[in-house]
Structures are given as structure tokens and as C-alpha cells.
Chains A and B, each alone.
Chain A
Amino acid sequence: MSSLWSELERVLHEVQKPARYIGCEDGMTVPDHHSGAVAWLLIYPDTYEIGLPNQGLQILYEILNERPDAVAERSYAPWTDLAEVLRREGLPLFSLDTHRPARDFDVLAFNLSAELVYTNVLECLDLAGIPIRTASRSDDDPVVLVGGHCAYNPEPLADFVDAAVLGDGEEVVGEITEVLATWKAGGGGARVDLHRRLATVAGVYVPSLYEVTFAGGRLQGVRPSSDAVEALEVVEKRTVADLADWPYPKKQLVPLTEVVHDRLNVEVFRGCTRGCRFCQAGMITRPVRERPTAQVRSMVAEGLRRTGYDEVALTSLSTADFSGIEQVVTETVADDACGQVSVSLPSLRVDAFTVDIAAEIQKARRTGLTFAPEAGSWRMRQVINKLIREEDLYSAVESAYSQGWRRVKLYFLTGLPTETDQDTLGILEMARQCVEVGRQHLRNPSVTVSVGGFVPKPFTPFQWFGQNTEAELRRKVGVLRDELKRDTKGYRGVQLKWHDPRATAIEGLLSRGDRRLGAVVEDVWRSGGVFQEWSEHFCLELWTEALERQGLTLEEMVYRHRTEDEAFAWDHLSAGLHRDFLWQDWRDALEAVGLEDCRWTPCYDCGACTGYGIEHVVASAVPPAGGSQGTGQDLASGGEVPVLLIARPAQRQPVPVGNA
């Protein structure tokens, strides 16, 4: 075995938080590497604390290790202090599980959850001793893959990856393993031939087999090279039809040192059809696939017993929409076998948060409560199709304060299409009203308002929108700060936080960027720009200077509105969504026209189900009790809400799949 541990343990005392690098978590696998097994190194290109809890990586780690023809280990981006020590000592990037050199693996697979980690991908490759550019790699170098939400536009990283994998990974990692196992058994060969084989796997996009054309400084298209017969005109994403078949992770990793979301996490459903127009996750993960309530319960009970955690998060894009939410919360809290357990519900919609749920989840320890109204006016929320009313927010906040919470967090976006300063200021008005509601229950209620700059994402109706400039976002934050200063007494209890508009600009650049950004990403990395999502390391000048050297501008790449027929860097990839559906939804947005949730109403054929022959898997044909009251998305509640719904021909009746 080629473990680097004896070298590493001599230098770990030099770095901060050495426990990041030891592995040893409960749930860890010490795999048996053998010549018949394809060895995967799953890498999260951010720190251990951020990456360890990532459920996608843990799911693939287990699925691969269960296969006889695969082994999987993990790695995370070493913090800058360790990177320096590794380079000084001539040591490579390593796996945490057995401390093997990264280069000894057949596959390095990166999870891309955020744009600003892209330079860390290059850093990890370089630390691994692998040429960062695909074209420079030898036939013996490991295969470099990327997956995760940002892989839906992998063009900024196209020069550095062998392939990008679109959509759910559960099935496709097995298919890739089979291709690589056959390749290894046949003695390998030229890298280009391996690329061709990988391109035959559904959901796998191999950038080197495509040609990118530009005209007049703009992208014209990304098309298969004339000799690449395996390359498809359009690569479609992968979707697992039923979450019940994939009860993973079965052995969630329990870290020995503190990480974010340090608790048991159980995914209750995947996909979301609320149709929030800014939300890429909601668009690309359709349709809704609920996990059966009984399976959720057993994963929670078994997980708590095995891990020793006293907190469980029921995860999804909008957990209060889960059909079995009340049952699971009530039974988990009542289950004596697990001791005092707190349940946290991330991604709560305010219209579905009731006193009942509030009362249940506060029984053990009150976890933080965050609501995401996203925008400060009803008009703005119609534009983004987040159809929650102010009354819904206030009643949710009332539920929280009445059950003993002292602080709630509210998330908002600014820089949304058609946003006026009045809309922006509405954010503070809502926060002030929430504090008012709280005063009826306690003396000093507090509301923390987090404001993020909106970044248009691929495969959303807002992909045509010109992102607000850094200056404009900065101005809007200024409008909010000035308003707070104007009336400090009136806004007592309201705290304002905001995301750095400079970072938002670069997220926007990478989100919708094309292949020309490869040179920019490399330039920034070569200038020392790693851990760009960390405020202490982020440096806007590195990016603007690199853009300038490539003759590119933020105005052209990020801030410009795009036209209906404009080519996107992701047109050759597909999340199932029809482009004309997205365009129509964009036009509807501009007219503040809402769109209902198709899981409980007729299908409007966005393409995510119809294109793949799959459908929603929901246990209930109506919204859960207490959920969606009066939002207009709940057609059962009638038309009392001033939301204009589009009449579209029903193409398919919703088919609830009874799985309770």
C-alpha cells in the first residue's frame, strides 16, 4: 500500500486544523484496491468543513464502494497552509481514507456546487501532479470528471476536464465504472479513444469532442467535431426515477472535527416544481420525487442510532412540501429510543410553516429558523414566481416567536429583473413587520436579513437577463443601509447582512460563461487566486485583470441582456427543459404573471418529465396540510389571491404514485 501517512504526520503539526486531513470518520470505508477495480477519488474542491457534509459525494462514495468493480475514496481542497507545506515537501494531494496519492487513482471526480471553487479544481489537479489541461495529459493520467449543479454549464472548465456528468449520479457512476473497467482490462490506450468511449454513456459530456465557434466576439455554438461520431448534438441529463430505490447514504459519515451542517441529513425528496424563476436547482432537478414516508422514518431512526447525532435535518429544496412532513417530524421527536432529538428543516417555505411544525421541532433544542421570501414586494415575487404573501410570512414568523424562537433569519435576493428601489426597500419593511409580530411575544425579537446579489443561471427563465452590475448591487445595498440609518429606532431588531457584490459579479461570469473563460480561470489560479469563495482570499482584481488579458469584459459576459435567439454556452446540454418553455416563462416574468406548481395541477410540459418518460412521485395529490395556504399555487384554495395564473392546455393529469 502506498500510504503517505508517515510523511504527512510529520508535517501536520505545522498546519491549522490538522483534523481536516486525517479521515477516520465513522462510516468511512477502507477499500481494498485491486487491479480489477476502478479507483475513484471523489474530491470536493473546498475545505473539509464545507465538503464533508455534501450528500451527493457521500451517496456516490457508498454506491461505488458497494460495487465489486470499483473503490472510492475522498479528498477535499487542502487549505493554503497545507498546500504550501505539500509543495515544499514534494508531497502530492492525497485521499483521506487511506492517504494514497491522488495520482494513484483512475478517476478524479470533482463535485461542483459553486462557481467560485473552479480555481480550486486546478489547484487540486496541480497538487495531485496532474497536468491541469486535458490536452496535456498523458494516456496514463487519471480521468478528470466534474458533476454537480455547476456542471450544467461546464464550459469555463472544459479545457481542464475529460468529461462532465449531468444530473443524478446514482446510476451513471456505475456505467462510467464499467467503461473504465473494460478499458483498463484491455490495457488502456490513447486518451482520445477513452474520451470517445466515455461519450457513449448517457449524461456524459466530453468537451474535447466538441468544437466551439465564435463570431464577432460572441459565441456561435458548441457542436460535435466532424470526426467525433460518438458525440451527441445534445447531451441529456440523468434522472433517477424513484428515490425509494436509492436509500443513501446508508452510513452517513460522522466527522471527528466540526463541519457545517454537523448533523444527520436525510433527503426527503429531490426536485421542486414551485417554479421559482431564479432557482436553478428547482429547474434542473425536476420532476419531484418523494421518498416514501416509511423509508424516511427508518433512515432517520437508524441514522440517529448509528451516528449518535441528536439533530436531524430533513433536506430537500422545500421541505414543508413533503407529504409526510408532519408524520416524520412528530414521530421523530416522540421516539424515545433516540433521546432528545431536534429536527431542522432547511428550505422552509413560509406558507407551509405552521404552529404545529414549530411546536414539534422546538421540543428538544431550537435550531435556527430561516425563511426565504426572496423579494420585498408582491409584484417582485410575482416576477420571480415565489408566490408567498406577506401574511404568510408574518404568520410563519408568529408561529416561530410564539413557540419561543427569539431570532429568525430572512433571505432575500436583490438585483432581480424589473426591480425598483421600492421593491428593494420592501425587504426592510417586511423585516420591520416581522419584528413587530415578535414584540407581541417577547421583548427583543430579532430578525437577521441576508441579502444576496442575484446571479442568473443556465436552464432558468432568467438565463436571458443581464445581471446587475457590481456598482448597481453596491448601490442597492447602500439604499438598504441608508434606510436603516435614517430610522434606527424604527428598525430596532433588524440586522442587515449582504453578500459581497464583487463576488456576485464573478459568480455571474462563471455561471453563464463560455469556453473562453478557461484561460481566465487558469490565469487567476496561476496568480494565486485559490479559495475565491472565502472573503479573505477573494480578489476581484485577479479576475478583471485576467479578463482584460483575454480581451473580455464583464459588461459583455455578465451584465448584458441576451436576445431570444442568442446562442448559450450550454445549448448542447439539456436538463430536459424546453427552451421555448423557459423563454415563455421569462416573458411571463416580465409581466409579473405567475405559474402554478405542476405537482398538484395539470402539466404545462416544461419537458423535464415528458422528455424522459418519467413523472412526479408524490404521495399526495394535494398540497400537504397547512402547506401552500392561499398562495395561488394551491388551486384548491380558490382565486382569492391576486395572482394571475396562465391558462395553458392541460397535457397530462398529475399522477400521484401511491407509495405510503
Chain B
Amino acid sequence: MMRLRIRFHKKGKVRFTSHRDVARIWERTFRRAGIAVAYSQGFSPRQKLSFGLALSTGHESEAEFLDVEVVDDRYCAREIWDRDRDASPAAEVVEALNAALPVGIDVVAVAPIDKGESLQQAVVACTWSIEIDGIDRADAEAWVADVLSRAEIVVERERKGKLVIEDLRPHVHALDVTGVTETGVWLTADLGTQPRALRPTELLTAVYPPLVARSVCRMNQWTSQGTDREEPLMAPVVPAPPAKVLA
């Protein structure tokens, strides 16, 4: 048995699939790729896959992660993974998975990991790239400054049928206008994920005037804070596959 961590992108049309859809796509992908995966015991055996933080339907990502328990003899010896790039099975696994995945879902890295914290527990923050239409740079910067100057951003939301009051401000680790488009701007936001992940769209609508995202892409998931912060698996360990044309 070997525990592997996979990093993948989700872009283009497939961004409209749900987190649950993606899980099912992965189950079929391992079978199609001919990579043997461990199954749970019990009445209805399932592949042992664990996913990180759910990505909202419709958002893109360059930093999705998946842990899988592989029982395939070819990949179970730890030492083969420690060889240098050409001798490591990483490239072969990435290629086999990408051949079996739908257009838009692309594996960029794979590596063995030790059993430890789940992805969901390990990640403390995500970096998001958010495209906003209908706003110019000055207004966007004023909006960002307003958010950052607030001591608290209180919202009410329903959770398990009860109304709860939450302060979103502690989850906003960083926020910046990082570019302009023909019709708007790019924002980059670092948002906390513990104890629960703040979604970018929540932040955009929590402060007046609310902003509407044209597109949202998760760029990173971080397992630590600070300047030397790390991701669950850095990309790319192997060269990214040639870009498929997103029809």
C-alpha cells in the first residue's frame, strides 16, 4: 500500500461540475488508468480517496488535492519515488491519469506522503484570484481599503437551521487589487479556512457595495502561514502536461 497525494487543476467547462461529481470522476479515472486502489470494507466497498476542501461549483482551481491509497505493485515501493525525475514513476502516473481524465482536469504533480493529518485539517488558508466586472481600479482599491480597515465584518447566516452571527474579518488574511481587465479588475485574496473556509463570494457580498465575481480561481492552498508557507504538494514536481484546448 502506498499513500499518494495528487495535485490537479480544474478549469474550463468542467468547473461547473460539483465536488461530488469530481469525486466520482476520480473513481472512474483510477479504474480507467489501470491503477489499483485500495477499497474500503463493508456492504458497499468504495475506493479509499480523500479530497481536500470543497471547491464551489463554477470556480476554477490550480490547487486541488487528492489523497489516494494505491495498492498497485508498480507504485508501492517507497524507494522508487525517491529516485530522480526520469526514474521516478511520477511522470508515468501523471500521464496515465491525464489520459483518463476529462478535458479541464489535469494532474500537475504526484508524490508519496506519510499518513498524517487530512487535507482538510492541514490547510489553513487559500489564495484566490477573483475577476470583477464593472469596476475601475480606483473604486476597487477603495473597496479593498475599506475591507482591510474594518475591525470586524459581521454577517448573519443560517447553519443547520439556526441563525448564527459570524465575524469574517479574521479570515481575511490579505486582499489586493492585482490587475486590471478591459471591463474590471483582478483581486487576489488570502482567505482563512479554519475552523471553516471563507468563500470568496461570501466576502464579496458581505461588504457594501457588494461585488459580483465574473470568475474565481483557487491558486493555492496553504498548510502554514508566513513568508515560508507551504502547500500540501508544490507544483509542478514534473513538467505540466501540454495544455489541452478547452473547447
The chain A residues found within 8 Å of chain B, CB to CB, are: 5, 9-10, 12-13, 18-19, 21-26, 30, 98, 254, 256-258, 304-310, 338-340, 364-366
Residues of B within 8 A of A12 (CB): 16, 58
Q: Is the CB of B27 within 8 A of A23?
A: no
Point out which of A256, A257, A305, A310 has the most chain B C-beta atoms below 10 A from its C-beta.
A256
Q: Is the CB of B58 within 8 A of A24?
A: no
Q: Is the CB of B58 within 8 A of A258?
A: no
The chain B residues found within 8 Å of chain A, CB to CB, are: 13-14, 16-18, 20-21, 24-25, 27-32, 36, 39, 43-45, 57-58, 100, 102-104, 214, 247
* Complexed CA–CA distance, A304 and B34 (Å): 11
The smallest C-beta distance from B17 to any residue of chain A, in angstroms, reads 5
Residues of A within 8 A of B31 (CB): 304, 308-310, 338-339
* Complexed CA–CA distance, A10 and B20 (Å): 22
Contact (A24, B104) CB under 8 Å given A98-B247, A307-B32 = yes
The smallest C-beta distance from A525 to any residue of chain B, in angstroms, reads 28
Q: Is the CB of A18 within 8 A of B16?
A: yes
* Complexed CA–CA distance, A24 and B57 (Å): 16
Q: Is the CB of A306 within 8 A of B32?
A: yes
The smallest C-beta distance from A362 to any residue of chain B, in angstroms, reads 11
Residues of A within 8 A of B103 (CB): 24
Contact (A23, B21) CB under 8 Å given A10-B214, A308-B31, A308-B100 = no
Residues of B within 8 A of A25 (CB): 102
Q: Is the CB of A308 within 8 A of B44?
A: no
Contact (A256, B45) CB under 8 Å given A12-B58, A308-B28, A339-B31 = no
* Complexed CA–CA distance, A24 and B246 (Å): 10
Which 8 A-B residue pairs are closest in the complex by CB-CB distance?
A: A308-B28, A308-B32, A18-B16, A308-B31, A22-B13, A19-B17, A13-B58, A257-B21
Residues of A within 8 A of B100 (CB): 308
Residues of A within 8 A of B39 (CB): 340
The smallest C-beta distance from A367 to any residue of chain B, in angstroms, reads 11
Q: Is the CB of A308 within 8 A of B102?
A: no
Q: Is the CB of B32 within 8 A of A19?
A: no
Q: From A12, which residue of chain B is reached at the shortest CB distance?
A: B16
Q: Is the CB of B102 within 8 A of A5?
A: no
* Complexed CA–CA distance, A10 and B215 (Å): 9
Q: Is the CB of A254 within 8 A of B21?
A: no
* Complexed CA–CA distance, A10 and B15 (Å): 13
13 CB < 8 A contacts A-B: A9-B13, A12-B58, A18-B58, A24-B102, A256-B17, A256-B21, A256-B25, A256-B102, A257-B21, A309-B31, A310-B31, A364-B45, A366-B43
Q: From A98, which residue of chain B is reached at the shortest CB distance?
A: B247
19 additional A-B residue pairs with CB within 8 Å, beyond A254-B28, A308-B100: A5-B13, A10-B214, A18-B16, A19-B16, A256-B25, A258-B20, A258-B24, A304-B31, A307-B28, A307-B32, A308-B27, A308-B32, A309-B28, A309-B31, A310-B27, A339-B31, A339-B36, A340-B45, A365-B44
Residues of B within 8 A of A256 (CB): 14, 17, 21, 25, 102
Contact (A258, B21) CB under 8 Å given A12-B58, A13-B58, A18-B57 = yes
Q: Is the CB of A22 within 8 A of B45?
A: no
The smallest C-beta distance from A463 to any residue of chain B, in angstroms, reads 43
* Complexed CA–CA distance, A609 and B114 (Å): 66
* Complexed CA–CA distance, A601 and B16 (Å): 54
* Complexed CA–CA distance, A308 and B47 (Å): 13
Residues of A within 8 A of B29 (CB): 308
Residues of B within 8 A of A306 (CB): 32
Residues of A within 8 A of B43 (CB): 366
Residues of B within 8 A of A366 (CB): 43
Q: From B25, which residue of chain A is reached at the shortest CB distance?
A: A256
* Complexed CA–CA distance, A339 and B13 (Å): 30
The smallest C-beta distance from B98 to any residue of chain A, in angstroms, reads 13
Residues of B within 8 A of A365 (CB): 44-45
Q: Is the CB of B44 within 8 A of A22?
A: no
* Complexed CA–CA distance, A308 and B25 (Å): 9
The smallest C-beta distance from A77 to any residue of chain B, in angstroms, reads 18
The smallest C-beta distance from B214 to any residue of chain A, in angstroms, reads 7
Residues of B within 8 A of A22 (CB): 13-14, 16-17
* Complexed CA–CA distance, A12 and B13 (Å): 10
Residues of A within 8 A of B17 (CB): 19, 22, 256-257
Residues of A within 8 A of B247 (CB): 24, 30, 98
* Complexed CA–CA distance, A619 and B102 (Å): 40
The smallest C-beta distance from B12 to any residue of chain A, in angstroms, reads 8
Residues of B within 8 A of A304 (CB): 31
Residues of B within 8 A of A18 (CB): 16, 57-58
* Complexed CA–CA distance, A505 and B98 (Å): 51
The smallest C-beta distance from B107 to any residue of chain A, in angstroms, reads 15
Residues of B within 8 A of A30 (CB): 247
* Complexed CA–CA distance, A23 and B25 (Å): 14
Residues of A within 8 A of B16 (CB): 12, 18-19, 21-22
* Complexed CA–CA distance, A364 and B47 (Å): 13
Q: Is the CB of B18 within 8 A of A257?
A: yes
Residues of A within 8 A of B44 (CB): 365
The smallest C-beta distance from B19 to any residue of chain A, in angstroms, reads 11
* Complexed CA–CA distance, A541 and B189 (Å): 53
* Complexed CA–CA distance, A365 and B31 (Å): 16
* Complexed CA–CA distance, A307 and B20 (Å): 18
* Complexed CA–CA distance, A98 and B247 (Å): 8
The smallest C-beta distance from B33 to any residue of chain A, in angstroms, reads 8
Residues of B within 8 A of A308 (CB): 27-32, 100
Point out which of A5, A23, A257, A309 has the most chain B C-beta atoms below 10 A from its C-beta.
A257
The smallest C-beta distance from A12 to any residue of chain B, in angstroms, reads 6
Residues of B within 8 A of A257 (CB): 17-18, 21
* Complexed CA–CA distance, A254 and B103 (Å): 13
* Complexed CA–CA distance, A505 and B181 (Å): 57
The smallest C-beta distance from A306 to any residue of chain B, in angstroms, reads 7
The smallest C-beta distance from A189 to any residue of chain B, in angstroms, reads 35
The smallest C-beta distance from B61 to any residue of chain A, in angstroms, reads 15
Residues of A within 8 A of B13 (CB): 5, 9, 22-24
